[in-house]
């Protein structure tokens, strides 16, 4: 029996994003696997990273100079007796405390001796045999990081669910991890639809176009930590489309592109409805990407599979992936979805749009440290991949604005 027509449910951009974040917070993460330290770069930690010792493990000098008692430098210039040298990696910690009137010559990364409470930079000193003359005072604690100040032994340095960037890898190295437990990558099926779409190997006929969306999506899925699974192109024909959707639902997530607009041959929503899909929304008040669909199939929470139906226009596909599909992939991969952040820059030229939709306009953000600006890329609408490929961000225009004068600060979404 055919399913009844799908009820339209069009949300504001903010509401649609909130729905996605809510669902993402319920998504079950993949199983974990053990990988080499370098293989863990960009992956999501499945174990907390714990400090195996204090960080730093000893009170560390952060400058080359002299370890002193700061009280000895109240009258300047001060003359102190140099009682020894401490270099980084010194075999034994100094045990006898520094007495008043004494200093140790000390190097960056070396342990500060007991009794010393500051390090004077070598630039403010002059050595005279066993004496050093110091021209500048220091306050207690200056140029020293006390033992355990960064982290104490046994404390959690990084939580499970954190994506490992270069600092995370450094941290794992600093606690001696040669192997790490990370979450497996979720498998994300990609289904391109449309009678006019052909595979890359085929020579397109006069009215056909090559399937580019499956590849932009695969690239975005990889960046989001997923593993793309490209399905054959689905024609605009219900039976075959439905078969391929069922095949896609075997993966952890299904992303369909095309076939979600209002045309007579936009059959995706109906095909999903026949598979008893639940729809969280069937549109968002954004441009490009208004007909975006989000929902799930599966009766029980355990068997639940999320899907997205993204509009087929190449730019719409890329924007809606970024706004809505990425957080779900991040969550399925065991991570905490990145919150959307909108840095600002000045518009180089005025911007005019119609009101009613949140706009994501491909743009180039450039400039200097103290003069950052953004310029909309001239484009022919949401099919213009060449314009998109030149851009490095989107300017985000709220739905109530129709004119933004040149020089105004505008919100960006970086890519």
**Nearer to Mg ion (CB atom), residue 267 or residue 377:** 267
Find out whether 152 and 54 touch, Cβ atoms under 8 Å. yes
Encoding tokens for residue 1? 């029996």
Cβ at position 368, least distance to ligand AMP in Å = 37
Q: Which of 227, 281, 251 is nearest to 21 (CA)?
A: 281
DSSP 301-350: TTT-EEEEEE-SSHHHHHHHIIIIIHHHHHHHTTSPPPPP---EEEESS-
Note whether 197 binds ligand AMP by CB under 6 A. yes
Label residues 203-226 b or e (16+ Cβ within 10 Å = b).
eeeeeeeebebbebbbebbeebbb
Label residues 26-65 b or e (16+ Cβ within 10 Å = b).
ebebbebeeeeeeebbebbbbeebebebbbbebbbbebbb
Q: Which stretch binds ligand AMP (CB under 6 A): 18-26, 103-111, 258-266, 360-368?
A: 258-266
Residue written as token pair 């997205």: 308
How far is CA 273 from its chain centroid? Answer: 33
- Residue 162's binding partner out of ligand AMP, Mg ion, none, with CB under 5 to 8 Å set by partner kind: none
Out of 257, 282, 358, 388, the only residue in the binding site for ligand AMP (CB under 6 A) is 257
Out of 261, 270, 366, 392, the only residue in the binding site for ligand AMP (CB under 6 A) is 261
**Nearer to ligand AMP (CB atom), residue 73 or residue 260:** 260
**Nearer to ligand AMP (CB atom), residue 258 or residue 334:** 258
Binding track, positions 279-318, relative to ligand AMP; x by CB under 6 A: --------------------------------xxxx----
Binding track, positions 311-340, relative to ligand AMP; x by CB under 6 A: xxxx--------------------------
Note whether 194 binds Mg ion by CB under 5 A. yes
Note whether 291 binds Mg ion by CB under 5 A. no
Note whether 208 binds ligand AMP by CB under 6 A. no
SS in 3 state form for 268-288? HHHHHHHCCCEEEECEECEEC
Which positions lie near ligand AMP, rule CB under 6 A? Answer: 192, 194, 196-197, 209, 211-214, 257-259, 261, 263, 266, 311-314, 383
Which positions lie near Mg ion, rule CB under 5 A? Answer: 194, 258-259, 312
């Amino acid at each position: 029996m055919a399913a009844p027509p799908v009820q339209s449910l069009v949300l504001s951009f903010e509401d649609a994003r909130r729905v996605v974040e809510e669902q993402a917070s319920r998504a079950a993460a993949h199983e974990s696997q053990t990988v080499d330290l370098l293989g863990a770069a960009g992956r999501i930690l499945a174990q907390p990273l714990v400090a195996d010792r204090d960080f730093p493990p000893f009170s560390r000098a952060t400058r080359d100079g002299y370890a002193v008692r700061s009280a000895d430098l109240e009258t300047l210039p001060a003359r102190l007796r140099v009682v020894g040298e401490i270099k980084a990696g010194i075999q034994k910690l100094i045990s006898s405390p520094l007495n008043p009137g004494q200093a140790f010559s000390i190097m960056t990364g070396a342990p500060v001796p007991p009794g010393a409470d500051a390090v004077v930079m070598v630039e403010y000193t002059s050595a005279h045999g066993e004496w050093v003359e110091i021209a500048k005072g220091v306050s207690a604690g200056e140029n020293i990081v006390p033992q355990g100040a960064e982290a104490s032994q046994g404390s959690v340095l990084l939580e499970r669910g954190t994506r490992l960037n270069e600092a995370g890898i450094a941290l794992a190295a600093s606690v001696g991890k040669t192997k790490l437990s990370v979450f497996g990558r979720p498998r994300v099926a990609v289904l391109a639809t449309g009678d006019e779409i052909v595979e890359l190997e085929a020579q397109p006929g006069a009215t056909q176009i090559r399937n580019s969306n499956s590849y932009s999506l695969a690239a975005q899925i990889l960046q989001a930590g997923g593993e793309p699974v490209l399905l054959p192109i689905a024609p605009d024909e219900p039976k075959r489309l439905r078969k391929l959707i069922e095949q896609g639902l075997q993966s952890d997530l299904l992303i369909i592109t095309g076939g979600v607009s209002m045309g007579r041959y936009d059959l995706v929503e109906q095909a999903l409805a026949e598979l008893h899909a639940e729809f969280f929304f069937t549109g968002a008040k954004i441009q490009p990407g208004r007909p975006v669909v989000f929902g799930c199939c599966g009766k029980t929470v355990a068997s639940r599979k999320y899907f997205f139906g993204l509009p087929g226009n190449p730019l719409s596909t890329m924007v809606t992936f970024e706004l809505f599909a990425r957080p779900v992939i991040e969550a399925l991969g065991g991570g905490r979805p990145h919150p959307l952040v909108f840095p600002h820059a000045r518009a180089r030229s005025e911007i005019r749009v119609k009101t009613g939709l949140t706009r994501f306009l491909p743009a180039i953000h450039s400039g200097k440290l103290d003069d950052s600006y953004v310029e909309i890329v001239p484009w022919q609408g949401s099919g213009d991949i060449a314009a998109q490929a030149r851009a490095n961000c989107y300017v985000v225009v709220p739905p109530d604005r129709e004119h933004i004068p040149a020089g105004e600060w505008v919100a960006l979404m970086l890519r």
